[in-house]
């Protein structure tokens, strides 16, 4: 928060010479990149050149009681929507500046209070719909208020309504989908059925150009709704992002996803208990046939990529998040073969990959051979042991662009048993995250071993060295010579 204007700064202001006009001052202010620059600029201008919009802005900026966040400029962020009439009047006065207004709403009362005066200026809206503050829910009023937000670019809704029956959930979803926003996120924290969700989503997708749909936790839709939704996805020509988590759509039932799609998350709810069958894999490969994905989050990537001749073109994929992977030699080979198709890959996340050292070697060979642009590798499965981690570290120097290895959660990572590979990797990458030992003596021995390495490649944050002696701190600490050029080694406590 900038300090209040002093009488001396007022005295230093030049008088208007007639050449500058308020409209010109406002145009210049709108071009400045941060609120503090606008305030400094206006303090240097005669007060009679401030437009009403600039006066309102300065009041909001200087008075902390207004509770308006300007630290995300050019966005004005309203974390609480129950502002006083004075604040709302000032916000309305700033609209000629063309600033973006984002807001979070936690009740229908907040919506009714803020949307009528500011609705057309709202660009992003977050709704937290909980039974304690939203019921009884007037869905007709909700849809009417959302229609007033004609400039809305994104609507993010979290639903927490335990015990709500199907008609209530259907009506609520239909009201939310009245929004004109091209980007929609709906997160549902319970397993209530929303039987007509597919029909409502299909109507929303086809009503106007849509760019993003993120949908979590709608487990049960009727069959006709699922098919209508898949048909609408196939007809879309503008959708760029689709994320479906715990949403049962199979493999999209023979429909193809739009060629415009660049980001996809496909995480069915039942994948832990009921593995998708060959028909679903074939459907999914067909669904991705037209796409040129840059981001993919999915279960069982090896199965999806197993038939390149009938599946998607993955050559542009930059980020891959494989949620689940089956063990067994055949499935590991399928995963490695799929990774071999990803010549543009820069980030790989394998959060649940419990494979032995031989399988990990096969995976790392595929990455080293086919993924020269890989920068980030994240492995977080607790079941990996030190032998598998050793294969990862040993392969790191063969990945020319690799900068970060993140594996902080592995239960049995005995770092002292793969120290040579760790050092070689540390001379190549910028950051390595591994779990520490549970024993303080073992951690002390590890730090001593690291400090004894000639031309040690690692630097550790002071937090990890708080119990170490001055000698070790002098070698591994952030004040050591050349520390800024070393690999950051993070040892996470288990």
Question: Which of helix, strand or coil describes residue 270?
Answer: coil
User: What does the pLDDT read at residue 2?
Assistant: 44
Q: Tell the burial category of 256 from Cβ atoms under 10 Å away from its Cβ (0-12, 13-18, 19+).
A: middle
| Domain-embedded: residue 307 | no
Q: Is 427 inside any structural domain?
A: yes
Q: How far apart are CA 152 and CA 50, in angstroms?
A: 29
162 — pLDDT class (breaks 50, 70, 90): confident
What is the extent of the structural domain holding 414?
Answer: 375-493
pLDDT (mean) for 192-217: 90
Angle, helix 419-426 to helix 386-395, in steps of 10 degrees = 30
Q: Which residues of 207-220 are buried (b: 16+ CB within 10 A; e: fewer)?
A: eeebbbbbbbbbbb
CA distance 208 to 119: 20
pLDDT score, position 445 = 87
Assess if residue 166 is contained within a domain.
no
pLDDT at 8 over 50: no
pLDDT the model gives residue 463: 82
- Phi-psi category of 326—alpha, beta or left, where left has phi over 0 and alpha has psi -120 to 50? beta
Task: Say if residue 335's pLDDT is above 50.
Answer: yes
d(CA 345, CA 363): 14
Q: Per the omega criterion (within 30 degrees of 0), is the bond before 105 cis?
A: no
Lowest pLDDT segment from 102-116, 129-143, 191-205: 129-143
Q: In terms of Cα–Cα distance, which of 481, 448, 482 is closest to 467?
A: 448
Q: What number of other Cβ atoms are within 10 A of residue 10's Cβ?
A: 10
Torsions phi, psi of 6, nearest 5?
-90, 155
Q: What residues form DSSP beta bridges with 385?
A: 412
pLDDT per position as a tens digit, 429-480: 999 999 887 667 888 888 999 999 999 999 998 888 887 889 999 999 999 9
Cβ within 8 Å of residue 171, ≥6 positions away = 139
Q: How confident is the model at residue 65 (pLDDT cuts 50, 70, 90)?
A: low
Residue 467 belongs to some domain of the structure: yes
Q: What confidence score (pLDDT) does residue 18 get?
A: 55
For the segment 257-275, the average pLDDT, to the nearest whole number, is 80
Report how far residue 467's alpha carbon sits from residue 49's, in angstroms, rounded to the nearest whole number. Answer: 61
Kindly tell me if the per-residue pLDDT of 271 is higher than 70: no
* 129 pLDDT more than 80: yes
Residue 164 falls within a domain, yes or no? no
Instruction: Tell me, yes or no, whether 122 lies in a domain.
Output: no
Dihedral sign, CA of 77, 79, 82, 87?
Answer: negative
* Distances 117 to 103, 183, 430 between C-alpha atoms, Å: 13, 23, 50
Q: Is the dihedral of CA 264, 267, 268, 273 positive or negative?
A: positive
d(CA 196, CA 225): 6
H or E stretch covering 45: none
Contact present, 155 and 211 (Cβ < 8 Å) = no
Q: How far apart are CA 394 and CA 296, in angstroms?
A: 27
| Listed range (124-138, 213-227, 263-277, 333-347) with the worst mean pLDDT | 263-277
Q: What tokens appear for 20 in the block?
A: 């500058």
State mean pLDDT over 408-416: 79
- CA atoms of 214 and 295, how far apart (whole Å): 14
Query: Helices marked H in 163-244 — which ranges?
Result: 166-176, 197-207, 223-235
CA–CA distance, 110 with 78 (Å, rounded to integer): 11
Residue 270 pLDDT = 58
Give Cα separations from 377 to 52, 175, 262, 407, 494 (angstroms): 52, 41, 21, 8, 20
Q: In whole angstroms, what is the distance from residue 140 CA to residue 298 CA? A: 37
Chain centroid to CA 147: 27
For residue 3, what pLDDT is reported?
Answer: 44
Question: Does the pLDDT at position 219 exceed 70?
Answer: no
CA angle 360, 365, 371 (to 5 degrees): 115
**How far, CA to CA in Å, does 329 sit from each of 278, 300, 366, 368?**
18, 14, 15, 19
Range with lowest mean pLDDT among 238-242, 271-275, 404-408: 271-275
Interval 186-198 mean pLDDT: 79
Number of domains in the chain: 1
Residue 167 falls inside a structural domain: no
pLDDT of residue 272: 52
pLDDT tens digits for 30-52? 888 888 888 899 889 988 889 99
**pLDDT band for position 374 (50/70/90)?**
very high
In a domain, 211, yes or no: no
Task: Mention every residue, 6+ apart, whose C-beta is less than 8 A from residue 338.
Answer: 301, 302, 304, 305, 306, 314
φ, ψ of residue 330 in degrees (nearest 5): -65, -40
């Amino acid at each position: 928060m900038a300090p209040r204007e002093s009488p001396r700064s007022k005295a230093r202001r030049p008088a208007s010479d007639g050449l500058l006009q308020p409209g010109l001052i406002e145009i210049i202010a709108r071009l400045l990149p941060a609120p503090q620059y606008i305030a400094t600029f206006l303090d240097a201008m005669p007060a009679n050149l401030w437009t009403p919009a600039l006066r309102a802005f300065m009041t909001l900026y200087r008075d902390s009681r207004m509770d308006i966040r300007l630290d995300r400029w050019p966005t004005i962020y309203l974390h609480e929507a129950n502002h006083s009439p004075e604040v709302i009047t000032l916000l309305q006065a700033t609209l000629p500046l063309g600033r973006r207004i984002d807001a979070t709403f936690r009740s229908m009362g907040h919506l009714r209070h803020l949307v009528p005066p500011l609705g057309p200026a709202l660009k992003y809206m977050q709704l937290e719909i909980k039974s304690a503050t939203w019921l009884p829910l007037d869905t007709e009023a909700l849809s009417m208020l959302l229609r007033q937000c004609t400039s809305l670019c994104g609507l993010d809704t979290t639903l927490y309504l335990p015990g709500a029956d199907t008609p209530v959930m259907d009506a609520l979803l239909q009201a939310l989908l009245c929004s004109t926003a091209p980007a929609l996120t709906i997160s549902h924290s319970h397993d209530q059925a929303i039987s007509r969700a597919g029909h409502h989503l299909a109507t929303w997708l086809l009503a106007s150009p849509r760019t993003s749909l993120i949908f979590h936790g709608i487990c049960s839709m009727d069959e006709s709704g699922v098919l209508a939704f898949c048909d609408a996805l196939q007809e879309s020509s503008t959708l760029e992002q689709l994320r479906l988590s715990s949403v049962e759509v199979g493999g999209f039932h023979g429909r193809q996803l739009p060629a415009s799609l660049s980001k996809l998350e496909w995480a069915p709810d039942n994948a832990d208990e009921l593995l998708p069958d060959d028909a679903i894999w074939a459907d999914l490969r067909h669904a991705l046939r037209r796409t040129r994905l840059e981001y993919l989050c999915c279960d069982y990537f090896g199965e999806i990529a197993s038939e390149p001749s009938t599946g998607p073109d993955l050559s542009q994929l930059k980020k891959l998040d494989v949620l689940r992977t089956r063990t067994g030699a055949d499935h590991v080979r399928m995963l490695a073969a799929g990774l071999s198709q990803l010549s543009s890959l820069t980030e790989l996340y394998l959060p649940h990959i419990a494979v032995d050292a031989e399988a990990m070697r096969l995976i790392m060979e595929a990455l080293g051979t086919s993924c020269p642009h890989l920068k980030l590798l994240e492995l977080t499965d607790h079941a990996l042991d030190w032998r598998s981690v050793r294969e990862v570290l040993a392969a790191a120097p063969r990945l020319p662009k690799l900068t970060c290895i993140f594996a902080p959660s592995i239960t049995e990572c005995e770092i002292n048993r793969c120290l040579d590979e760790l050092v070689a990797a540390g001379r190549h990458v910028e950051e390595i995250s591994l779990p520490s030992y549970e024993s303080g003596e073992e951690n002390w021995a590890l730090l001593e071993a690291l400090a004894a390495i000639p031309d040690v490649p690692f630097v550790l944050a002071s937090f990890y060295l708080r119990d170490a002696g001055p000698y070790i701190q002098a070698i591994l600490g952030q004040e050591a010579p050349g520390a800024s050029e070393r690999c950051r080694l993070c040892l996470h406590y288990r």
